[in-house]
Each structure stands twice: as C-alpha cells, then as structure tokens.
Amino acid sequence: MAITTTLRLIWQLTPVAVRTAVLNLLRLSQNAKKQDLKTEVIVAVLKKLTSVPQPIGSVQKWGLRDPGIKGPIWISTVTMPAPAESDTLDVLLRAIEAMGDGTEQFTKPTVASIEAEWTGARHGVGKNEPRPDLPEAEQYNKLLNESPGKTTILYFHGGAYLMMDPATHRVTTGKLSKRTGGRVLSVRYRLAPQFPFPAALLDAFLAYLYLISPPPGSFHDPVKPSHIVFAGDSAGGGLSTALLLLLLHLRRSGVTHVQIHGKSVELGIPAGIATNSPWLDVTHALPSMQRNKQYDYLQLPNPDGTPTTEPPRDDIWPASPPRAEIYCNASMLTHPLVSPAAASAELWKGTPPVFMVCGEELLTDGATAAARQIHGVGGVVHFVGYEGMPHCFSMIFQTEDCFSRWAQFCMDAATDPKLLGRPNTGTWVRALTNPPEGYESELASINALSGEEVRRLMTVAKAKAVIREEELVKKWEQKETRAKL
C-alpha cells in the first residue's frame, strides 16, 4: 500500500475511532450496552473501511496476499489433480437440476486441479520461528507426527466467495488443529466472479473425495468419513453446508458411488459440520439484515437488493454477460446449494451433528433458520450465539470461548459422537460477561420465522434480482450490438 494511501486512510479513520471510543467510554454510544470499547471501535473502523468502494480485482489481490509461514504451525501444500472422469461434474449437474425449480441458469464449470494446505500444530517453537526448508512431503510427515489425532477437518475459508485464501486463515486452522489434535485440510477453491457457482462447490466436492480416496502420489492415507468434519466461516460456512446438502441429496437419490481417478468411491456422510457465521442466505432477505445492523461491520444492501457500495468497473467485474450477483446468476439465489437457508425440511433429513456459531450480526437469521429446520427433522444441533458480536467476531478478536466450543465439537463428532447428545436448546452468550454467561433458547423457536416464510422472503428478493439482471443483460446486449455496427 502506497504511503499516501496509508496516510489518507489514517486521516479518514482516526476521527471515527476517536469519536466511537469517547462515546463508548461515556456509555453514550448506541452499542455500549453490548460492545466493549475495543469491539465497538473495531466495528466502526471496519464499517468505514468497507463503505469505500474498491474494484473487485483489487479486493481479490489484497485478500490473496500470503503473510508467510512461521511460528507454531506446520503447513504442507498440495495440489489435487483433476480427475480424467467427468462423473463428479455429472452428478453435481444432475443434483443442481433435481434440487431446483427448473428456472435456474448457471455457468457449467470445468473440472480443474485444486490447491490446498494441510495444517497442523507445531509445538515448542516461538511465534517468529521460520518454517523449515523441507520438501512438502516431509512437511506433511512432521505435521502428522505432531497432530496424530483422528479428527480431520475439511476447511473452507470465508470471503464472500470472491476473496481470501487458505493463507489468510492459517491462524484459524492452526488453532483448530492445536485444540483438536488433528489435521486441517484448507481448500483454495475457485473464486467468483471469474468462476461463479457451481465452480466452488465442485472444488469442495472433489476435495472431500480427495480426503476419502487419495489419488496416487498423495501424502495421506484414506480418511474415513466418520473422522471428517466439514468446517468454514462466512461464505466457507455456506459452501460446507451446500456440500453437505449435495451429499444428502445424492444419498436419497441412490447415488452411492462416483468414479474418480480410476476407482469407484463410496459417498459417505461426514461425522459433522461446524460453521462460524455461515452465509446461508445469499439474497440478504431476512430480518436480521436490518435488526442487527448496528452491531455489524458488513455493509447493508439497499432495499432493492443492490449493494450500497457498487465496486468500480475493472477487467473482471461486471461480468460479460453481466450478473446481478457476484457469486451466481440471479435465478440461482434461492437454490439450496447457493442459499442453504432456503432448503426445505426434507432436504435436511439425515444431517450429521451440526455446530453453528454466530454473532448478533446481519447473517444471524440465515443461521438460526437452518438450525431450527435441522432440529425439526431430528438432527443434532449445537448452536451458540454471542450478543452484540459482529460477523466472524472470533477471527477478529480470537475469542477463547468460541474456539474452545468449536474445536470441542469437531473432536467429539469425529471421535465419540455420543458425547454430543441431542440438545433441545441453543445458547446465547450474554454481552460483556467475563467469564462468558449464557442463557438457553429453544431450538424449535430459535428463529421466529417458519421455513415457508423464510423461503417467501428470499423468493421476493430473488425476483427483484432477476429483474435487475435482465435489465443489465439487455443493456449489455444493446451495447454489444452497437459495437459490431
């Protein structure tokens, strides 16, 4: 970042930080009852930062920076080869069609190789200890020696499906590895807008198959599905949930195996899924978008669904032809593999144990709507909400309580699922309590909206997006026609 840009940011952000801090200290700010000084200042600064429109390409470039590998963590980079067979893509495309309403349009992805990072705890070294200069296979062996537990977490990073990377989430995956004693495979899935839905979901599907049936040359031995927990934050939480819904649909449809790398691989269901601030409603239609806006730094869309900060044009956005949404065509917005909050109760049947954590944030209703549905069909749901906390708060503030619960669930699901039981209540942690104090909330009513009302609100938002997209495409076609004259 240029020195002039840095100085300009400091000039813009300092008054926001000072004003927020003074009001919080005097208990006069709107959030002082639920956010301490540090939290409210950081939320105010992040909200100011995210209100400044940036080209998508610049945002991606910033989010793909690699801070380097050092300290108490083992990283082994791998590339999952693209299978020669088309079976995985074929079953995905059939599932998208079967789970939709017939009106959806999307870009058919190609099957590609996928990069990922094995992550494990490295013990007995300082935070600045350099990474040993070893081959990747030896890095993996060192990792496995220090993280030998049964728990294997398949992790998908957040970033609105358009930015971030396994490198940006090493602190998170490293903490999960250290606390579970197991490994984390963090996936570098393809990003929108260059690779819209369902490219990321195809990559996630292939990554799961890579775990349970590694191709020749892989560092790891096959991992049993009963030892694998899907996990992710924000968009990664949505992607891991979509992957689970895909597997459940395939099982119901009688698709028990797929051909990949010359083998017939059984499609087992994982031990569980553990998400943090999952983005389950890509339409942004549910009431928490307005109700919780004061506590969150995420930008609230306009009433018509358009972004409040439209990114400046660059060579990757708008797309050609244009879309109303970065991640997918507007017609896909309520598809359960895009917005799992829209999934009917039937689609959740057979769900393995679920851990879900969120703040009092814009995305809360998507999470609680899914939690209520899963509990309603007999699923095991461990829900924890934190009053006054913003989106992905535990990755900003490194909240001890949240990470402890998150990791404990992953370990229990993969090693002794009987420990999870089947609670009828979730937990809301009261704001500003230390140590954290919680109160129970019935899962059957943790979200006041019925599944039908959730889908109705999302369908209305989708219809508006479809109209916007049609208008954008019409203008684009007219421009293309004039350019050819």
pLDDT in tens, 375-414: 999 999 999 999 999 999 999 987 899 999 999 999 999 9
Residue 483 — very low, low, confident or very high, per pLDDT cuts 50/70/90? confident
Q: What is the 3-state secondary structure (H, E, C) of the chain?
A: CCHHHHHHHHHHHHHHHHHHHHHHHCCCCCCCCCCCHHHHHHHHHHHHHHCCCCCHHHHHHHHCCCCCCECCEEEEEEEECCCCCCHHHHHHHHHHHHHCCCCCCCCCCCCCCEEEEEEEECCCCCCCCECCCCCHHHHHHHHHHHCCCCCEEEEECCCCCCCCCHHHHHHHHHHHHHHHCCEEEEEECCCCCCCCCCHHHHHHHHHHHHHHCCCCCCCCCCCCHHHEEEEEECHHHHHHHHHHHHHHHHHHCCCCEEEECCEEEECCCCCEEEEECCCCCCCCCCCHHHHCHHHCCCCCCCCCCCCCCCCCCCCCCCCCCCCCCCCCCHHHCCCCCCCHHHCCHHHHCCCCCEEEEEECCCCHHHHHHHHHHHHHCCCCEEEEEECCCCCCHHHHHCCHHHHHHHHHHHHHHHHCHHHHCCCCEEEEECCCCCCCCEEEEEHHHCCCCCHHHHHHHHHHHHHHHHHHHHHHHHHHHHHHHHHHC
Residue 306 — very low, low, confident or very high, per pLDDT cuts 50/70/90? confident
Residue 4 — very low, low, confident or very high, per pLDDT cuts 50/70/90? low
pLDDT in tens, 432-482: 999 999 999 999 999 999 999 999 999 999 999 999 999 999 999 999 888
Q: Are the beta carbons of 360 and 387 closer than 8 angstroms? A: yes
Mean of the pLDDT values across residues 207-217?
Answer: 98
* High-pLDDT (> 70) share of the chain, %: 98
For the chain, list the domains and their CATH numbers.
1-61 (no CATH), 70-463 (3.40.50.1820)
According to the model, what pLDDT value does residue 2 have?
Answer: 53
Is the pLDDT reported for residue 6 higher than 90?
Answer: no
Residue 302 — very low, low, confident or very high, per pLDDT cuts 50/70/90? confident
According to the model, what pLDDT value does residue 7 have?
Answer: 61
Average pLDDT, the chain: 96
Mean of the pLDDT values across residues 289-314?
Answer: 89
Q: From CA 416, how far away is CA 71, in angstroms rounded? A: 31
According to the model, what pLDDT value does residue 158 have?
Answer: 98
Residue 119 — very low, low, confident or very high, per pLDDT cuts 50/70/90? very high
Q: Are the beta carbons of 440 and 180 closer than 8 angstroms? A: no
User: Does the pTM exceed 0.85?
Assistant: yes
According to the model, what pLDDT value does residue 301 have?
Answer: 86
Residue 307 — very low, low, confident or very high, per pLDDT cuts 50/70/90? confident
CA dist 190 → 162, 196, 254, 278 (Å): 9, 8, 29, 18
According to the model, what pLDDT value does residue 8 have?
Answer: 72
